[in-house]
Amino acid sequence: MNTKERIKGKERIKNVEKFTSAQEYYPYQLQYKALLEYAIRTFPTEEIVYRDELRYSYAEFYERVKKLANILETLGVEKGDVVGTVDWNTHWHMEVYNAVPCLGAILHPVNPRLSRGHIEYIINHAEDKVLFVGEDFVPIIEDLQDKLKHVKSYVIMAKKEFDTELKNVYFYEDLMKDAKSDYEFPDLSEDTVFSIGYTSGTTGLPKGAWFTHRMAVLHTLSWSTFYASHFGINRNDVILHIVPMYHVHSWGYPFMALVLGEKQVFPGRLTPDIIWKLIDREKVTHIAMVPTVLRMMLDFQEIEKYDASSLRLILIGGSPLPKGLLEEAKNKLNELGADVEILSGYGMTETFPNITRAVLKKHMENWSWEDKVEVYTKTGIPGILVDIRVVDEEMNDVPKDGKTMGELVYRAPWITPGYLKNQEKSDEAWRGGWWHTGDMAVWDEEGYIKIQDRDKDVVKSGGEWISSLILEELISTHPGVAEVCVIGVPHKKWQERPVAIVVPRVEYKERLTEESIVEHLMQFVPDKIPKWWLPDKVVFVDEIPKTSVGKFDKKVVREKFKGLFET
């Protein structure tokens, strides 16, 4: 091609109005059903396992999903109707997870750990038309049914029938017996609403974040690629679904596992013995959880009975990963024969939820263990298609020095457009064209984010900020500390002062003292924290209140200890 021809080519490209949109010939829509159908035709023999009770192939799973679509239509579910679920991580729940959105209806997983008042509120607020209920949660819904304004029928997910006070009730497996498996899922606009997920309501009434098929597809493809490229996850892997399916789509793992062709193991009601048993029997390779579940697993007295050698990856989210917990887990799992990578990540109800993961970059792979721990316990780097900033109150980027705090804001194609029936909160969260998290963070030259605190959890002392998360992380490295929660307590002179609420490890319960905690922290002064950050008091307790998803409920803890400095 000569110079004149190249110039003419450039001119043609500039005149884009001369080109016909590809969408004019084939208006392709990003629909979740395409991912499901890909998984079924590519990995038909892969397995789905439920506890000791069921094992079937992806192909058999798909037959049941199509049966369920016919059942939903028989129950009067139409495109745009909301279908609620109240259950543990079960194969039934997985079938509903797929049939409802592929039908064009809206999936609404309900958190059964919320208060009765909040469960009633979100089912009514979302206007659930049909409610699928796991056997363990039938009593809760029985108590609420007269207050549920929009629910027309209930489907109980259980192996066999039993007596219930629910009206217009069906049993899942009875419906399955007569249902036809011949079903073709409709073509949908990618802007069709896929699901609704509600916040836990720790600061007021729960808010409903909604997502479209386009968001579900892009999140699934983006993070499947991320996990395949960073961890090599593929059809030879086995995932145990520990993150509750009522908690932000189980962090998206049921959808990603289908696309990656993994064996999927569903544990039902979570207990440490079930977790370890399934890891051993099914040769699980990776799991995800909040730190409190990892704590529960490590504290299980019969842990040595099980073979964990297949386990190679543990992904932590929901709240920061304490260094002490990471070190303890790494050592214990090494003893059990597992060479496992443990790292943190970040997301929210409003983000489907994945935003970051604390993966090592290639040049970090030969770093010392201590330096790797510094990376693993950060909030992480953004995933594919995610833009992140840390900003001051004027929306200016703060320096990438790992020290200057600002608010974490971000954009990604799967962040909720807003809150259902709450335009004011939606506009507030999206101000300036970026989603505002309320999380105070720092970032560094490598692009790693580290959340220092929630805006409401930062200890405000003498006009300065103290990060409760940094103090928690450092205190967690004391060998006698099982759990620690740091809060700001009102103080006449300083506005607030930090107080550490500590659960001692069993073997340290009688000998762990306030002085030993403060002495432990002194080794980090002044390199990591200034001396004035040291907690004014350390309180030892048997248990720290937690939210429905296993995070420390700092609102409750602050209320309990708010008068500590008044005496």
* Rounded percentage of the chain residues whose pLDDT exceeds 90: 83
Average pLDDT of the residues of the chain: 93
Q: Which residue has the tokens 């432990």?
A: 520
Count of Cβ atoms closer than 10 Å to residue 100 Cβ: 27
CB crowding 479-488: b at 16 or more within 10 Å, else e: ebbbbbbbbb
Instruction: Give the pLDDT band of residue 6 (cuts 50, 70, 90).
Output: very low
Q: pLDDT tens-digit profile of 512-548? A: 999 999 999 999 998 888 898 999 999 999 999 998 8
313-316 vs 286-289, strand pairing mode:
parallel
Average pLDDT value for residue range 404-416: 96
Please determine, for residue 130, whether its predicted confidence score (pLDDT) is greater than 80: yes
- Interhelix angle 253-260/213-231, rounded to 10 degrees, is 60
Supply the pLDDT for residue 437: 94
Average pLDDT value for residue range 495-501: 93
Instruction: Give the pLDDT band of residue 114 (cuts 50, 70, 90).
Output: confident
Average pLDDT value for residue range 74-96: 98
Supply the pLDDT for residue 463: 67
Task: Tell me which DSSP letter residue 359 carries.
Answer: P
Tell me the two tokens of residue 13: 């490209």
Three-state SS at 48: strand
Judged by average pLDDT, the poorest of 272-281, 320-329, 358-367, 549-558 is 549-558
Please determine, for residue 448, whether its predicted confidence score (pLDDT) is greater than 70: yes
Supply the pLDDT for residue 3: 47
Torsion sign across C-alpha atoms 345, 350, 353, 359: negative
The CATH class, in words, for 58-209 is: alpha beta
Instruction: Give the pLDDT band of residue 7 (cuts 50, 70, 90).
Output: very low
Count of Cβ atoms closer than 10 Å to residue 108 Cβ: 27
Q: Identify the CA nearest to 103 among candidates 129, 138, 122.
A: 129
pTM (2 decimals)? Answer: 0.85
Active site residues: 199, 350, 460, 465
Judged by average pLDDT, the poorest of 248-262, 434-448, 552-566 is 552-566
Q: Identify the CA nearest to 376 among candidates 318, 317, 441, 298.
A: 317
Per DSSP, helices labelled H in 377-451 are 423-429
Supply the pLDDT for residue 24: 78
Please determine, for residue 390, whether its predicted confidence score (pLDDT) is greater than 80: yes
Q: Where are the domains of the chain?
A: 58-209, 271-454, 459-560
Q: Count CA within 13 A, CB hemisphere, residue 264.
A: 29
Q: How many helices (H) and strands (E) does the chain have?
A: 18, 25
Identify whether the C-beta of residue 13 lies closer than 8 Å to the C-beta of residue 231. Answer: no
Count of Cβ atoms closer than 10 Å to residue 327 Cβ: 17
Task: Tell me which DSSP letter residue 17 carries.
Answer: G
Instruction: Give the pLDDT band of residue 13 (cuts 50, 70, 90).
Output: low
Instruction: Give the pLDDT band of residue 14 (cuts 50, 70, 90).
Output: low
Supply the pLDDT for residue 318: 85
Fold entry, domain 271-454? Rossmann fold (3.40.50)
Q: Identify the CA nearest to 341 among candidates 413, 285, 393, 392.
A: 285
Q: Identify the CA nearest to 132 among candidates 179, 177, 77, 185.
A: 77
Tell me the two tokens of residue 393: 């109150």
Supply the pLDDT for residue 18: 64
Supply the pLDDT for residue 456: 75
Query: In whole angstroms, what is the distance from residue 268 CA to residue 91 CA?
Result: 9
Q: pLDDT tens-digit profile of 395-404? A: 999 999 999 9
Instruction: Give the pLDDT band of residue 493 (cuts 50, 70, 90).
Output: confident
Supply the pLDDT for residue 106: 98
Identify whether the C-beta of residue 442 lies closer than 8 Å to the C-beta of residue 452. Answer: yes
Q: Count CA within 13 A, CB hemisphere, residue 461.
A: 22
Please determine, for residue 326, whether its predicted confidence score (pLDDT) is greater than 80: yes
Kind and range of the H or E run holding 181: none
What phi, psi does 443 have (nearest 5°)? -140, 160
Asked if the domains 58-209 and 271-454 are classified in one and the same CATH topology, the answer is yes
Q: pLDDT tens-digit profile of 194-245? A: 999 998 766 678 999 999 999 999 999 999 999 999 999 999 999 999 999 9
What phi, psi does 448 have (nearest 5°)? -80, 135
169-171 vs 153-157, strand pairing mode:
parallel
406-411 vs 387-391, strand pairing mode:
antiparallel
Q: pLDDT tens-digit profile of 455-468? A: 778 888 876 778 88
Beta pairing partners, 451: 441
* Top-ranked range on mean pLDDT: pick from 197-206, 293-302, 379-388: 379-388
Tell me if the bond preceding 526 is cis, omega within 30° of 0. yes
The architecture (CATH level 2) of 459-560 comes to: 2-Layer Sandwich (3.30)
